Homo-oligomer: A and B are copies of this chain.
């Protein structure tokens, strides 16, 4: 099946791409050798894996949670992508064992959920609004597709098709079927993946059904409450009943085609928008696409941190008012940044516009990557942009959505670098390695060599199996003010060939052709729209795709007293010994002195400043040394 019938671009699978990159390869290896085993151990030790044995009895501790299945599913997905890129017989076998357990938990009718099989079987499908039944099903479907594509094994895919068939028999518009939509979106995008893997249109229809159930009046979540006991309805009420019956927490405030403003829980929102984009592409639904574009634009122009973090409020783990982007209290869940990457990739494939890739890259290198420690075994759930030293990565979480989410993102990184179309190839991300692509039917091997993100020099080797005409599109990042492009040593003016943020080189490519792209990568001072009150009078430092921050470890002074004059020179220095090897930014800042205050609290003289050499490190790498303050937004003069 075509993966993007109506989109301009088609995705490239993990298996087509080899990453051999000084920045990413060690991370992917850490993911394979540390993160994925660590997360398996956590799932195992917390009972998540053995829960599929269905041996739980009342009184046993721990009690399986209704979202446990999804953690194991995301681990399977991560491990499968890893396997696709790197053979590992032990992991292969471990996956088979876990999948066998899951298969064994499937009920005769196809149903598959630990909690609602052993703990509260009488509550199956009773509270789609708050219990993550369909969400877990979705993650297991994604896992099944990933495992199938990585290994060719159909075991989990078949199990999940049976489960999907059963779900499709329960939910739908036909007589004897019931209404309903998942409170936590996920199954919508997963059903499209299942459809693409199997060609079974029933899954596409079911995904569309769930998407269209959202935002009806009365809300499916309100109708559902009628069956619930007072106790079971408690959480629903907590979220929904504050203002009348407001289900915006799970994007149920309006029919999806009428939505413009991202609201509610940010991860749910991102997963929904992914599903909407998928359905729009598969069905040619322009109205739905327009909604996706509006939602995208609103997220990126009013509700996104400079790190690509979204969902600023801890209260609803989600969106609040436009421009409400507090730094220290930022929620910016790792999963939400990952969800934004998923959404970005989908929109990129629809519109072939680099503005999506810009945000995809921003979230990847900053708000998502910060979610995992350099050693691959500690995780942020929330990713604030300022800290007083009391926020640290953890081994695991009771609600453990983020750790396997970042693991599956890193393991599948290969699929974000390139895209294909009938006539063109696209390079979105600059990461060393090579890929086996196809342009207009001709196999083309593309190789990249770069020290990105630390350096803006990229060499691309284009090797069609035989000379062939096609367009090669290289993204000129939004952060780049000056790009120099050379084909086989001859400079080409990018202006006339720029298409939606890509320099398109259309020619008859010969094996051995090389393209050199130089992206000027000076240190930049980022300012925020003045409606973001917290950032007024402050700048963030960025260089290339990387957002920087100050940490006490490098700047042992009160960070709110550090000031960066507008004309201060800033220098980027690669420090191989620092934080696994990073570019750090050094500059002549100022420090507000308190030496001459002598017991005064107020005075008429201005605060005195003294020179202070400041050092900024990449935001993703913060919280790896002695705990202290952290600030992305630096006072500016």
Contacts and interface: CB of A to CB of B under 8 A. Distances in A.
Interface of A: 297, 300-302, 304, 306, 481, 524-533, 536-537, 540, 558, 560-561, 563, 566, 592-594, 597, 599-607, 635, 637
B533 A603 contact: no
A528 B563 CA distance: 16
A367 to B, nearest CB: 13
Contacts of A560: 533, 536
Given A537-B537, A637-B637, A527 B604 contact: yes
Contact of A561 (B530, B563, B600, B635): B530
A552 to B, nearest CB: 15
Copy number of this protein in the oligomer?
Answer: 2
A87 B326 CA distance: 57
Contacts of A531: 558, 594
B635 A601 contact: no
A605 B637 contact: no
Contacts of A300: 601
Nearest to A591: B530
A600 B566 contact: no
Given A533-B560, A560-B533, A561-B536, A526 B592 contact: no
Contacts of A603: 526-527
Given A301-B599, A301-B601, A529-B601, 19 more contacts: A300-B601, A304-B601, A306-B602, A527-B602, A527-B603, A529-B594, A529-B597, A529-B600, A530-B561, A530-B592, A530-B593, A530-B594, A530-B607, A531-B594, A533-B558, A536-B560, A536-B592, A537-B635, A637-B637
B561 A601 contact: no
A528 to B, nearest CB: 6
A358 B158 CA distance: 82
Nearest to A609: B530
B599 A527 contact: no
A362 to B, nearest CB: 9
A397 B529 CA distance: 41
B302 A601 contact: yes
A592 B538 CA distance: 13
A602 B531 CA distance: 11
18 contacts: A304-B601, A481-B604, A524-B604, A526-B602, A526-B603, A526-B604, A529-B594, A530-B558, A530-B561, A530-B592, A530-B594, A530-B597, A533-B558, A536-B607, A536-B635, A540-B602, A566-B606, A637-B637
Q: 4 tightest A-B contacts by CB?
A: A530-B592, A301-B599, A533-B560, A524-B604
Contact of A525 (B527, B532, B604): B604
A528 B604 CA distance: 9
A300 B433 CA distance: 64
Contacts of A540: 602
